[in-house]
Amino acid sequence: MGRAVIFDLDGTLADTSGDLIAAANACFRAMGEGDQLDPARDAGTALRGGRAMLTLGFERLGKPVDDALLDRHYKPLLDHYETAIDAHTTFYPGALESVAGLRADGYKVAICTNKPEYLAQLLLTRMGVRDAFDALIGADTLHVRKPDPEPLREAARRAGGDPARAVLVGDTVTDRETARAAGVPSILVSFGPGGEDIHALAPEATIGHFDELAGVVRRFIG
C-alpha cells in the first residue's frame, strides 16, 4: 500500500460557508424568523457544521438550546443545504492543482469529512471533481466520526494507501486530534476562517497556500 494524503473538506479544500449559512438562514425563515447568520461574520461557525449554526441562531433569538431542539431542525437544514449546495462554494486557490499533483506523484488522495457522506458526494459531483479523489469518508460512513482515528485510517485504506504512511490536511482542532489519535502528522491550513488560531494547536506543520503542500508532505512521508 502506498503513501496517502487525506484531506478535510470544509474550510480546508473548499470554502463552503456561504452555502451553509444560506441553508441555516432558510431554516430560520421557515420558522418565521429572519436571517440570523451573517456570511462574513459567521463563516467560522458555519464550517463547524449545521448544529453549530443552529445553536448560534437560537442563541441570538434568545431561545434555550438543547439536543431535542437541534435534532428537530437539523434535517430541515440539511434539506435546504442539499437544494443549493454549490451556489457559493469555491475551492481555495491551488487546492485542486495540489491534489492532482500529489496524485500524479504517486500519492493516494482521499477526503475525510464530518459532513454527511451523501452531501459530500453530492457537492463534489456537482462541482465536477469527485473523480479527483480515490476515496471519501463522511461523518456517517462508519459508526464513528472524527476525531476518532478510524475514519482517517479507513479513508487511507479505501484509497489504496497505508494508514501508517498518511498525513491529514485540515483546518481545525478536530483534524489535529484525529491525526494525533491515528499517530500520523497533521498539516493545518492557515487561510480558512479559523486560520489565526491554528498555530496554537501545535500541528506538525502549517501551510498558507496549497503551493506549499507537496514539499511538506514529502518531508513527512517521502
The average confidence (pLDDT) of the chain is: 96
Provide the percentage of residues in the chain whose pLDDT is more than 90. 94
**Long-range pairs, 39-44, Cβ under 8 A, ≥24:** 39/88, 42/17, 43/15, 43/17, 43/18, 43/193, 44/17, 44/193, 44/194
* pLDDT at 194 > cutoff 80: no
Place of cell 434568545: 62
Dihedral sign from CA coordinates of 143, 146, 147, 151: positive
Please state, in angstroms and rounded to a whole number, the distance separating the CA atoms of residues 169 and 11: 11
Q: Residue 199 has what pLDDT?
A: 87
Average pLDDT score over residue span 138-150: 98
Q: Which residues are catalytic?
A: 8
Contact yes or no for 158/134 (Cβ under 8 A): yes
pTM, to two decimals: 0.95
Contact yes or no for 136/9 (Cβ under 8 A): no
Closest CA to 25 of 90, 87, 81, 88: 81
All three cell numbers of 146, joined, read: 472524527
- Identify the DSSP state of 92: P
* pLDDT at 195 > cutoff 70: no
Residue 80's pLDDT band (boundaries 50, 70, 90)?
Answer: very high
* pLDDT tens digits, one per residue of 81-134: 999 999 999 999 999 999 999 999 999 999 999 999 999 999 999 999 999 999
Q: Residue 112 has what pLDDT?
A: 98
Please state, in angstroms and rounded to a whole number, the distance separating the CA atoms of residues 87 and 149: 32
Please state, in angstroms and rounded to a whole number, the distance separating the CA atoms of residues 15 and 74: 21
Residues 6+ apart with CB under 8 A from 97: 210
